[in-house]
Amino acid sequence: MYTIHGALGSPYSMKMRALMRYRRIVHIWNHGMVAQSAALAKVKAPVIPVIEYPDGSFHNDSTPIVYDLESRHVGRSVIPPDPARAFLSHLLEDFADEWLTKAMFGYRWLENVDQLQMSRWLAFDAAKGGGRETSEAFAEQFRSRQVGRMAIVGCTAENFPLIEASTRAVLQALEDHVGDRFCLFGTRPSLAEFGIYGQLSQLGVDPTPQAMMRADFPYSFRWLLHIDDMSGIEGEWDDPSTPLAPVVNLLLKQVGLIYGPFLLANAAALEKGEETFSLEINGMPYSQGTFKYQVKCLADLRQRYAALDDKTRADLDPLLSECDCLDFLTSV
């Protein structure tokens, strides 16, 4: 049996829990400070969730785990069988993991009302008792640490207009889609839905973004609870000849507009040995510290695109070009 050592306030923990629920992979949900600390001692990068496998090994980094589970468990795959749609699903999941997470972090730690509630809730989740005074003291320490990281991860007040605009565009695309059906590539969920869900699950809890979602995107807000547990969904993949749902095009346009330039700027800065980078998108500024992991993400996306066969690339290229995604996937 698997054990997910995670947290309710961790978007990647929620992503993996929802995915494993859908895939009906038997697991234990283990959250709290003691469990997390023990699990983190078993992995190199101190991030959650940490997945304990039935053989006693420990793993983190959610996307590689998803693909490893695909190789180990037959049935209820989250990877569309059509290679073009499998690539698009992965691209959207990567966008969610690496860009939408800035909305989660920014909404949580920019405003005092969110800082206060969420630091206390996260401390409450971690401690599971121990007294309110102790819990709230830990909350203040955690709050200070997280707020202190805002600039390095790009979640500043100066950057937030761009982050918020892209978040609202994603939510509007979903709002217009989920009234017809819940999933992007058929009537069953793909990797993309779980990546998007992970980040939005936190917006659905924190005070400021929750109020925004309830007021402006009520069906996207409710959609989160459905993605959280799709174990009862059977569903089918769309036939590859079926036109893509408009939501896919709209989400890809956000990838091309923001995520591609972000990845390229980060990679260029890191290659020059620079510690920060800046760019402007739609007249809105953005700057943050350079990260090696995002360079790995860009390289992985390019490798996945290059590995597609000629016919698949020919089918995909017009869409990728229309959405301004092709250049960053093919440039070197």
What pLDDT does 128 receive? 82
What pLDDT does 46 receive? 87
CA pair distance 193, 228, nearest whole angstrom: 10
- Other beta carbons less than 10 A from residue 79's beta carbon: 18
Residues 6 or more apart whose Cβ sits within 8 Å of residue 215: none
The residue written with tokens 């969610």 in the block is 96
Strands annotated E in 174-264: none
DSSP-assigned beta bridge partners for residue 59:
51
Geometric angle at alpha carbon 91, from 87 and 94, rounded to 5°: 140
What pLDDT does 130 receive? 75
Q: Which amino acid is at 134?
A: T
CA pair distance 211, 14, nearest whole angstrom: 20
What pLDDT does 40 receive? 87
* Topology annotation, domain 2-72: Glutaredoxin (3.40.30)
Closest to 75 (Cα-Cα) out of 26, 29, 25: 25
DSSP-assigned beta bridge partners for residue 179:
none
N residues, the chain = 332
Q: List the chain domain ranges.
A: 2-72, 83-105+156-330, 111-152
- Other beta carbons less than 10 A from residue 131's beta carbon: 9
| Radius of gyration, CA atoms only, the chain | 19
3-state SS assignment for residue 231: coil
60 within 8 A of 50, measured Cβ to Cβ:
yes
What pLDDT does 332 receive? 63
- The end-to-end CA distance of the chain, in Å, is 43
In this structure, what DSSP letter does residue 47 have? -
Phi-psi region of 279 (alpha: psi -120 to 50; beta: other; left: phi over 0): beta
Q: Tell me the pLDDT of the chain (332 aa) as tens digits.
A: 999 999 999 999 999 999 999 999 999 999 988 888 888 899 988 899 999 999 999 999 999 999 999 999 999 999 999 999 999 999 999 999 999 999 999 999 999 999 999 999 999 998 887 788 888 898 999 999 999 888 888 999 999 999 999 999 999 999 999 999 999 999 999 999 999 999 999 999 999 999 999 999 999 999 999 999 999 999 999 999 999 999 999 999 999 999 999 999 999 999 999 999 999 999 999 999 999 999 999 999 999 999 999 999 999 999 999 999 999 999 76
DSSP-assigned beta bridge partners for residue 28:
3
48 within 8 A of 40, measured Cβ to Cβ:
yes
